[in-house]
Amino acid sequence: MDPTAKYISQKISRTRWRPVPAGLLQQPEVFAAGSWDNESNRVSIWSLGDNDSDTDGEFDEEPRLLCDSEHDGDVMDLQALSLAHVWERAHRYSCDNAPCTAVVCRSPELVSVGEDGRVILYKADQTEVVRVIENADSSTIHAVTFLRTTEVLTVNSIGQLKMWDFRQQSDSPAQILSLTGDRVPLHCVDKHPNQQHIVATGGQDGMLCIWDVRQGNTPFSLIEAHSAEMWEVHFHPSNPNHLFTCSEDGSLLHWETTSGSDMSTLLQRGWNSRVVSHSGVPLAGEDDSVVSSWLAGDSSKNRLEATHMLPSQTLSVNSLDVLEQCLVCGTDGEAVYVHRQLPV
Amino acid sequence: MEEVDVEPSTTVTVDLYSLSCKHLGFEWGPGDLLVYETNYKLQGPRSASSPSVHVVRRDEDICSPILRKLFNESHLIFVGLQKIKEDVPSKNKKSQFVSISKNYRSVIRACMEELQQNAVSTQEGSLASQYGDQVSILLAIELIWNLCEVLFIDAAPAGSLLLHLLDWVRLHKSDVDTRAREVLQSDSPAQHQSYWDVVISLVLQGRTDEARQVLSKQASLRAESSSVFKRMDVLLQNMPIFNPAGTQTLTEFDVKWRHWHEECDRCLQDNTFASNRHLETICKILVGDEDTLLEQRELLSTWYHFLVTRLLFTHPTIKPPDLHYYAQSSMNMFLGPRASPEPLDIILLSAFEFDLHQVIKDCSIALNNWWFVAHLTDLLDHCKLLQSHNLHFGSNLREFLVLEYASGLFTHHSLWQLAVDYFDHCPEFGRVYLELQIERVPLDTERKAIKVLRICEDRQMSEQVRSICKIMAKRALRNNRLGSALSWSIRAKDAAFATLISERFLQDYSNKGFFTDLDLLDNLGPAMLLSDRLTFLGKYREFHRLYGEKRFSEAARLLLSLMTAKIAPRSLWMTLLTDALPLLEQKEVIFSVDQTYELMSCLEELNLGTKDSNQTDQDEDIESTKTELLRLALARNLAMAIVKEGTIET
C-alpha cells in the first residue's frame, strides 16, 4: 500500500508521533511536524482522523491541521512532553546563539546537544538547567539518545560516539567509540529498544553501522544503506527486528532481519544490500541466551532485507517516526507521507 | 523578441512623497529591486532622518502558501517528465505526455479549489480579493493549458478534434450542470423560469441526451403539443456523433450528418415548430443559424463557446488547419465591432491559429511569473513541437524560460532546493547558473550547509565546495570550535586551512602549556595527512602521549624523527629541543649516541640561522641560556651513551 502524501507548504525538518498510552492497542493518530528554512518557521500538529469507519480497510484520510505555532529559527528536533518551557540561550557561542541540533527526553529529564559542543541536562519542571557539560566535544554534536536513565550517547561530526554518565562528576566521556579509517560525520543514533548495548548510527556517507557499546572500538556491521547523508535511523519500538532509515538521497528504507531461509526477499529495484559483518561471538556469561539477530554475524543464517517505502524518488527525506503500524515522514519537497499499514 | 510591442504598465511600489523628496537610487537583484534614498535632495531642507532602503519584490505569488503546493507538486511532475526515455515508441509517448499534461492540470485545479475555499472563508477583504485574483488567473491558465493539450499535445485529427473541443468547453462552463440540477429538482421543472435556458444551454454544448431528458418533463404536461415535442425529441436523438473508436469513417459520418442537417432544415422550412418559439429557436440552433446563436450570447458567455457550438452545428468534421478561420470570425462576430479583445482572447486565438510562439510570448507578458510558460514550453518541447528557435544568448526558448523560472525560485528562502533540479535539466547554461546561485544561499545552520554541500558534491562543483567549506570553517574558527573547523577542511580537502587550524592549536599550546580538544587530536586518523602542519600536530600530540605513558624510547625516536624528517617547522624546533631536555636528564640513557649527535646538529643548525633583530636583550638572554642548558645536557647524555654502548656485558 502506498503512503498518502500531503503537501503542507513548508519544508519539514522533523516529524514525531504523539505517543500512544502503552496499554491500549491503538494506532497513533496525531503527529507533530516542524518546519525549517522559512522566514517564520512553525511547529504544527496534525491529526489523521477516524480510521475505523472504512470497512474495506482503506485509510485515505488526509492529515488535518489541528493547530500550529511560531518558532524562532529552524525546528531542529521535536519530542513529546507534558509540560512546556523555554530555556533561552542554552546553547551559545561567545558572541552569538548556537544552533541546538538534537533533543531527547525521558520524562522528566531532557538532554540537548548543539553545534557549540555542549551537552545540557534539564528537568522539565525546573527553569534552571540541571547540568552543563562544557566543551563536551570540539566539533558539532549531531544527535543524542538515552542508553540508561543516567547515560546518554552522542555522535559528532568527526565520527565518534561518546558515552556520558551523569552520575560522574567529571566532564569527560565515559567511553569513546569510533571507526578506524575515515572519520565520517555521524548524523543520527538510535538505541535498540530492548537491549541497551546495541546502537545503530547513520552518517554522512549513508553507511548504517550497528555497534555493541560494551565491546571494543569498532562497529559490528557496516551496511551501505544510502548514497547520501542518512538523517534518521529508528528501531521499531515494539518489534526491534525492523529498522527504518531515511536519507538526503530521497529514499526511506525499511530493514528487516530475517532468520531462516524460507523468507522471500522483498528487495525492489535491483537494490542490493551488502552486509559486511564482523565475527559475532556471543559474550561469555550472557544472561539471556537469545543473541540479538542484529549482532549475529553469520550472514547465511541471518539476512538483512531492505524495502523502499516511498513511491518515487523525492527530495531529501529529513525525518521519520514509526509507532505501532504507522510511519510518518517529512521531506524537503514540502510533503508529509503517512503509511498506515506497515508490515511489522 | 526585441521590440516592446506593449507599453509597460506603471506599478506604484514605493510612496515617493513619504521619502521627503529625495532622489532615489535603485539596483536590480535576481528577483527583486533595491530602492534606496540618496543624499541628493530635490527641494526643501535636509531632513535629519536616516535614509531608508526598500526591497521591492516583483513576484508575490511565490510567497503564497497555497501556490507553494503548486510549485512543489509541479516540480515532481517536471522531474518525472525529464526521465521519460527516448527509445519508447512515439504512440506510447503521446499518451504519456497527455497524462503528464493532465497531471499538471489537476495540480492547478487542486490549488484553485483550495484558493476558492480560502477566498470564501476568509474574513479580511483584501485577502479575499487577492485570493479571488489568483483563482481567476489559475482559471485562465488552466483554460489555456487545456486548449494547448487538445490542439498540440493530443493533436486530434478531424472528427475527434471537435469532440475534444466540446469537452474543453464543457469543462470550463460548469454552471450549466448546477442550473440543470436546480431545474430538475424543483417541483415543476417545466414551469421553472430557467427551464428553457437550461435546455438551450445543453443543446449549445451538444449534450443532446440530457437536453432530451429535460425536454421530456415538458412533453408530459401538454398533451396537445406532444407531437411537436416528439418531433424535436426525434431530431435530437438522431443527431450523429462521431465515434473515433468505431468503424465508421469520417466520410460516412459526414454523409450521415448532412442528411440529418437537411432534415432539420426541412423542419424549419415546414414551420413544424412554429407553435412553440423555444422549439423553433432550438431548431434554428441545430441548423446552425449564426444569428440565432448570436442571440444566445448570454448563455454562451464566451466567444470560444460560440466558436465550438458554431462548428458543432455547421462543420463537425473540421480539420485543424481550418480552425483559425472560424476562430477569427467567431471572435469578431461575438465581440462585436466596438469591443476590444482581452489578452486571454488573443492568446486563445493564437492557439487556434497554431502559433505556439505567439501563445508563449503573450502568456509571458500577461503573467507575472514564469511558472506556466516554463512548464508548458518544456512539455511542448518534449513533444517535439517547438522548432529550435535560437535566441541571441545561445540557448533555446525552452531553456531560457526554465532558467528564468528557476532563477526566480532561487530568490525564495525555501524553494531554492526545487530550482536545483530545474537547472540540472538545462544542458547549456544550467550548470553555470547553479554555480553562481548556490554560493549565495545563506547558511545559518550546519544542516543547511551539509545539504548545499551535497548538491555541489553530486555535481562535482569543487570550487563551490571549497568556498562553502571555507566559510563554515572560518565561522567555526571564530567561535573557537576547532574540531568543527577541522572537519570542514577535511571535507573540502583544504590543506591550507588545515594548516591554519594546526597553527591555532599550536598557538594555544604555547599559550596555555597544554593541548585543548584532545579528543580530536588523539583521533585524527588518516586525516592527519591532509597537511604537513596537521601531521606534525598529530605526531607531536602522540609524543606527549607516549611520554605520559612513560614509553620514553619510543617518544625519543618520534621526537627525533619530527626534527630530522623536517616535518616540524623551524620556529618550533626550540620547543621540541626543550621537550627533549627531560628525556636527556633521565637517569637512564634514552638517546643513543647517533641520536645525540643528530640532536646536537639540529641545535647547531638552529643557532646558525640568522638572529631575529627584533629580539630584545632579555629574549636573547633567555635564548642563550636555553642553548647552554641544552648543550650541557647533550654533552652529558653523549658521555653516558658512549659509555653505555661501549660497555661489554659480562
| Alpha carbon distance B502, B488 (integer Å) | 14
Query: What's the pLDDT score for residue B356?
Result: 87
Among A7, A62, A100, pick the best mutation site for testing chain B contact (most B Cβ within 10 A): A7
Query: CA of A152 to nearest chain B CA: how many angstroms apart?
Result: 18
Contacts of B444 in chain A (CB under 8 A): 73-74, 99
| Alpha carbon distance A328, B622 (integer Å) | 69
Band of pLDDT at residue A53, cut at 50, 70 and 90: very low
Band of pLDDT at residue B21, cut at 50, 70 and 90: low
Mean pLDDT rounded to a whole number for chain A: 75
Q: B159, B241 in Cβ contact below 8 A?
A: no
Cell of B139: 482559471
Q: Most confidently modeled of A109-118, B99-108, B299-308?
A: B99-108
Nearest Cα neighbor of B119 from B135, B105, B140 is B135
Closest partner CB to A228 (pick from B65, B454, B483): B454
Query: What's the pLDDT score for residue B641?
Result: 86
Mean pLDDT rounded to a whole number for chain B: 83
Closest partner CB to B69 (pick from A7, A139, A181): A7
Q: Please check the confidence at residue B430 and state whether its pLDDT lies above 70.
A: yes
Q: A9 and B487: CB-CB below 8 Å?
A: no
Nearest Cα neighbor of A156 from A198, A181, A188, A182 is A188
A311 touches chain B (CB under 8 A): no
Contacts of B79 in chain A (CB under 8 A): 313
- Helix, strand or coil for residue B374? helix
A88-132 residue pLDDT tens: 566 666 667 777 778 787 767 888 888 888 888 888 777 788 888
Q: Can you say how many angstroms the Cα of residue B248 is from the centroid of all Cα atoms in its chain?
A: 47
B588-600 residue pLDDT tens: 788 888 888 888 8
Q: What is the mean pLDDT of residues B19-26?
A: 68
Q: Please check the confidence at residue B106 and state whether its pLDDT lies above 90.
A: yes
Query: CA of A14 to nearest chain B CA: how many angstroms apart?
Result: 13
| Alpha carbon distance B172, B170 (integer Å) | 5
Rounded to 10 deg, the angle between the B397-410 and B430-438 helix axes is 10
Lowest mean pLDDT among A54-58, B255-259, B562-566: A54-58
Q: What is the mean pLDDT of residues A7-24?
A: 82
Contacts of B70 in chain A (CB under 8 A): none
As beta bridge partners, residue A212 has A198
pTM of the model: 0.82
Q: Please check the confidence at residue B500 and state whether its pLDDT lies above 70.
A: yes
Q: Please check the confidence at residue A285 and state whether its pLDDT lies above 90.
A: no
Cell of B521: 587530536
Band of pLDDT at residue A283, cut at 50, 70 and 90: very low
HEC per residue, B515-577: CCCHHHHCCCHHHHHHCHHHHHHHHHHHHHHHHHCCCHHHHHHHHHHHHHCCCCCHHHHHHHH
HEC per residue, chain A: CCCEEEECCCEEEEEEECCCCCCCCCCCCEEEEEEECCCCEEEEEEECCCCCCCCCCCCCCCCEEEEEEEECCCCCCCCCCCCCCCCCCCCECCCCECCEEEEEEECCEEEEEECCCCEEEEECCCCCCCEEECCCCCCCEEEEEEEECCEEEEEECCCEEEEEECCCCCCCCCEEEECCCCCCCEEEEEECCCCCCEEEEEECCCEEEEEECCCCCCCCEEEECCCCCEEEEEECCCCCCEEEEEECCCCEEEEEEEECCCCCCCCCCCCCCCEEECCCCCCCCCCCCCCCCCCCCCCCCEEEEEEECCCCCCCCEEEEEEECCEEEEEECCCEEEEECCCCC
- Helix, strand or coil for residue B205? coil
Q: B438, B452 in Cβ contact below 8 A?
A: yes
Query: What's the pLDDT score for residue A87?
Result: 63
A39 touches chain B (CB under 8 A): yes
Query: What's the pLDDT score for residue A270?
Result: 22
Q: Please check the confidence at residue A26 and state whether its pLDDT lies above 70.
A: yes
B218-239 residue pLDDT tens: 766 666 567 788 888 888 888 8
Query: CA of A290 to nearest chain B CA: how many angstroms apart?
Result: 35
The pLDDT > 90 percentage for chain A reads 7
Q: Can you say how many angstroms the Cα of residue B8 is from the centroid of all Cα atoms in its chain?
A: 27
Q: A116, A91 in Cβ contact below 8 A?
A: yes
Distances (CA, A) of B545 to B514, B522, B538: 12, 9, 11
Q: Can you say how many angstroms the Cα of residue A10 is from the centroid of all Cα atoms in its chain?
A: 21
Q: Please check the confidence at residue B375 and state whether its pLDDT lies above 90.
A: yes
Q: Most confidently modeled of A17-21, B110-114, B226-230, B444-448?
A: B110-114
Query: What's the pLDDT score for residue B468?
Result: 92
Query: What's the pLDDT score for residue A92?
Result: 66
As beta bridge partners, residue B36 has B25, B53
- Helix, strand or coil for residue B117? helix
Q: Please check the confidence at residue B513 and state whether its pLDDT lies above 80.
A: no
Among A35, A133, A140, A175, pick the best mutation site for testing chain B contact (most B Cβ within 10 A): A140
Band of pLDDT at residue B50, cut at 50, 70 and 90: low
Lowest mean pLDDT among A166-180, A308-322, B28-42, B470-484: B28-42
Query: What's the pLDDT score for residue A271?
Result: 27
| Alpha carbon distance B636, B646 (integer Å) | 15
Band of pLDDT at residue B44, cut at 50, 70 and 90: low
Lowest mean pLDDT among A211-215, A266-270, B20-24, B118-122: A266-270
A44 touches chain B (CB under 8 A): no
Band of pLDDT at residue B53, cut at 50, 70 and 90: confident
B174-202 residue pLDDT tens: 788 888 888 888 877 777 788 888 888 88
Q: Please check the confidence at residue B258 and state whether its pLDDT lies above 70.
A: yes
Band of pLDDT at residue A281, cut at 50, 70 and 90: very low
Query: What's the pLDDT score for residue B42?
Result: 59
Band of pLDDT at residue B122, cut at 50, 70 and 90: confident
Query: What's the pLDDT score for residue A273?
Result: 41
- Tally the residues of chain A: 344
Residue at grid coordinates 532481519: A257
Nearest Cα neighbor of B560 from B611, B613, B609, B596 is B596
Q: A158 and B447: CB-CB below 8 Å?
A: no
Band of pLDDT at residue A237, cut at 50, 70 and 90: confident
Query: What's the pLDDT score for residue A117?
Result: 85
Q: Please check the confidence at residue A54 and state whether its pLDDT lies above 70.
A: no
A185-234 residue pLDDT tens: 899 999 988 888 889 999 998 888 888 888 767 777 888 888 999 999 99
Among B484, B508, B521, pick the best mutation site for testing chain A contact (most A Cβ within 10 A): B484
The pLDDT > 70 percentage for chain A reads 71
Angle at Cα B427 formed by Cα B426 and Cα B431, nearest 5°?
A: 75
Q: B414 and A37: CB-CB below 8 Å?
A: yes
Closest partner CB to B414 (pick from A38, A162, A248): A38
Closest partner CB to A181 (pick from B66, B69, B526): B526
Cell of A15: 516529524
Q: Most confidently modeled of B59-68, B173-182, B303-312, B518-527?
A: B303-312
Query: What's the pLDDT score for residue B41?
Result: 63
Please give the helix or strand (H or E) that residue B462 lies within, else none. Answer: helix B462-478
